[in-house]
Structure 1
Amino acid sequence: MTQNTLSLPTIDLSLWQNQQTPDDLFLESLRNAAHEYGFFYLKGHGISADLNAALMAQAQEFFSLPMEQKEQISMVNSPHFRGYNHAGREITRGKADWREQLDIGPERGIVEDLKGKPAYLRLQGPNQWPATLPQFKTTVLSWQEQVLDVLRRLLEALALSLEQAENAFHPVVSKTPYQLLKLIHYPGQHGGGEKQGVGAHKDSDLLSLILQDNEGGLEVELANGEWLQAPPQPETFIVNIGELLEVATSGYFKAAIHRVVSPNSGRDRLSAAFFLGAQLDATMPVLALPDALANSSVGITQDPDNPLFSQIGQNTLKGRLRSHPDVAARHHSDLFSAVPSKVLHHA
């Protein structure tokens, strides 16, 4: 059942950006949103509506290309898990998601000599870009850079809301944190069945940021098991807490379960989802929270089919192997023995 009587809280980041020090009301609102829901709308972020519109226009152009052109940059060609996947190729909790998408990371060089080095360094490498869209790369990388700045700033505010130093999360995000942008197109589906655009899941990163078009479908699971709709709101992003922040706060911040229900037949949905992780060579610190907050923590959620690793690179690589078994089979078959088989077949 979907719950329609509540709505997600809205956080106005400009209330801090326009002041040298955030006030207690702003920090309390932010902390409560991250604790109670793990999801909130973000306005006052400073990213222009023109840049958001340009990104969505480029995404629309890409997904409108003939399939053979999109498949030229198929993810299965990339050992770094970058590129295009047609609908049904990515798996969530053992079921195919009905969405096509393009996965893009930061532009970084390949680690050439991996002998004796951690396997997670295989994730670093170049993107695949559509050759027929000359403005695509510039627009995407510009948007990524600005969103990264917003989320780093938001992490500082979240740290202050927990009565920590503003730079509490700097050691894991200040240099080269793992980051991923998914441009996603959800085709319409006929009524009946689950209509899984993307199945119910938690994000494994620190923070996720979602830019939606005007088509709804994103839903968040409440504590009572009901689903709260998160429809598009003008000039806002959706931000949600990832599992790394749940780990860092011993469960005080909630990495909420969420899903996307496919549009009805004849409609479609377009979104851009940016995931900010931590540096692959880092281990996530656990913060010492004030007693008043620590006593409200419910602890870290443990899923036997999706174990959490505190070492960032190990946890990130596990997620990519699990979600993209075709890439794993072609490029990383030697790693299967290091990852429990049930992890590779669930998401």
Structure 2
Amino acid sequence: MVVEVSPPTIDLSGKDESQVQLSKLIVEACEGYGFFKVVNHGVPVQIMRAMEDESFEFFQKPSAEKQRSFGYGNKNIGVSGDKGELEYLLLQTNQISLIDNQSSQFSYRVVVGYVEAARRLACDLLGLMAEGLGLPKYSFSTLLTDPHTDSLFRLNHYPPVSHPSTIDGFGEHSDPQILTLLTSNAVPGLQISLPNALWLPITPDPHAFSVIVGDLLQVMTNGRFMSVRHRAIANTSSTQSRLSMVFFGGPPPETTIACPPQLLKLNKPLYKPFTWAEYKSHTYAHRLGDTRLDHFKLF
């Protein structure tokens, strides 16, 4: 069932003057929804539009040319047989990987500019989250600034389909990483899961970022933040293609994921410690919609 309510939208323009209040609003959104939007986020609009233009240019190329691109996929979403009404390009975001992926299909300057701007925004938000939880500012964000960060950048392209094989463009799932930043063009499709099997459509805003709590952040807050399940509906309502540009903030592979001791003074830990490499391997062994954190619960 789909419902109509307004998800939290947080204006970052007053960050320097009202940091305490912003931290409070962000923590409340992460606890209540596992999702919020940010506006006036500081990522220049020209960087966002340049990346969008480059992306559409890539997806308009002949199929045979796209198939030769490393990281390209069409309908087959993952290694477990998951399907969707989309095509995509998935890139590693560390500096070496971006250099390796440099080719005529993208401007290196545009990709790096977007990824670095998204990473800075993710780190700013993680800093506000940490402070809102009473932790040192850089408790979470250093995992994204480490040279060996395992963050990803994904472009999802949803062409219009008149008779989709499934309702989903990208099926119900949670993101395994720490934090996801997503922006899209003006074509709708993103929905987040609410309690009681309700789905909340997210109104597209090309100038805003959708912020999605990932599985690791749920563990790192001992379940206080919710890793929200979400999906993209097949694009049947428009003759215009839908494009989403998604930054997944992930830690270095050998990072041990656990809740900071400061958050465990009144509560027992809910999850046993594990490395990101272990959790990623566990994630890829399951289908898209499977619940994965239960395997790491202590009780």
What TM-score does the superposition give when structure 2 sets the normalisation length? 0.86
Q: Does residue 275 of structure 1 match 2:263?
A: no
Q: 1:22 aligns with which of 8, 19, 23?
A: 19
> Identity percentage over the alignment?
25
- CA–CA separation in structure 2 for the residues paired with 1:261 and 1:253: 25
- CA–CA separation in structure 1 for the residues paired with 2:209 and 2:141: 23
Q: Does residue 284 of structure 1 match 2:241?
A: no
- CA–CA separation in structure 2 for the residues paired with 1:271 and 1:232: 10
Task: State the structure with more CA Rg.
Answer: 1
Q: Does residue 316 of structure 1 match 2:280?
A: yes
- Does the 8 Å CA contact 1:90/1:323 hold for their aligned counterparts? no
1:238-317 → structure 2 map (5 Å cutoff): 238-264=210-236, 266-287=239-260, 288-289=262-263, 310-317=274-281
Q: Would the alpha carbon gap of residues 15 and 125 (structure 1) be closer, same or farther in structure 2, given more than 3 Å must change?
A: closer
- CA–CA separation in structure 1 for the residues paired with 2:46 and 2:197: 38
Amino acid at match of 2:60: S
SS at match of 2:72: strand
- Does the 8 Å CA contact 1:241/1:253 hold for their aligned counterparts? yes
CA offsets 1:187-245 (integer angstroms, 9 cap, x no match): 22235764211000000011000011000010000012100001212521101000000
Q: Would the alpha carbon gap of residues 50 and 310 (structure 1) be closer, same or farther in structure 2, given more than 3 Å must change?
A: same
SS at match of 1:15: coil
Q: Does residue 98 of structure 1 match 2:85?
A: yes
Q: 1:183 aligns with which of 155, 168, 175?
A: 155
Deviation of the 1:92 alpha carbon: 8.7
Q: Does residue 55 of structure 1 match 2:26?
A: no
Q: Does residue 195 of structure 1 match 2:195?
A: no
SS at match of 1:50: helix
- Does the 8 Å CA contact 2:256/2:275 hold for their aligned counterparts? yes
Q: Does residue 3 of structure 1 match 2:3?
A: yes
Deviation of the 1:178 alpha carbon: 1.1
Match of 1:36 in 2: 32
Amino acid at match of 1:64: Q
Q: Does residue 155 of structure 1 match 2:126?
A: yes
- CA–CA separation in structure 1 for the residues paired with 2:112 and 2:169: 26
Unpaired runs of 5+ residues, structure 2, are 289-294
Q: Would the alpha carbon gap of residues 247 and 315 (structure 1) be closer, same or farther in structure 2, given more than 3 Å must change?
A: same
Match of 1:12 in 2: 11
Amino acid at match of 1:251: G
- CA–CA separation in structure 1 for the residues paired with 2:116 and 2:98: 17
Deviation of the 1:40 alpha carbon: 0.6
Q: Does residue 140 of structure 1 match 2:111?
A: yes
Deviation of the 1:100 alpha carbon: 0.6
RMSD between superposed Cα atoms in Å? 2.9
Amino acid at match of 2:203: P
- CA–CA separation in structure 2 for the residues paired with 1:137 and 1:175: 21
Match of 2:41 in 1: 45
- CA–CA separation in structure 1 for the residues paired with 2:258 and 2:169: 34
Amino acid at match of 2:274: S
- How many aligned positions are there? 287
Deviation of the 1:267 alpha carbon: 3.8
Q: 1:213 aligns with which of 176, 180, 185?
A: 185
Hey, which of these two has a bigger chunk of strand by percent?
Answer: 2
- CA–CA separation in structure 2 for the residues paired with 1:140 and 1:85: 19
- CA–CA separation in structure 2 for the residues paired with 1:185 and 1:141: 20
- Does the 8 Å CA contact 1:91/1:97 hold for their aligned counterparts? no
What TM-score does the superposition give when structure 1 sets the normalisation length? 0.75
- Does the 8 Å CA contact 1:197/1:262 hold for their aligned counterparts? yes
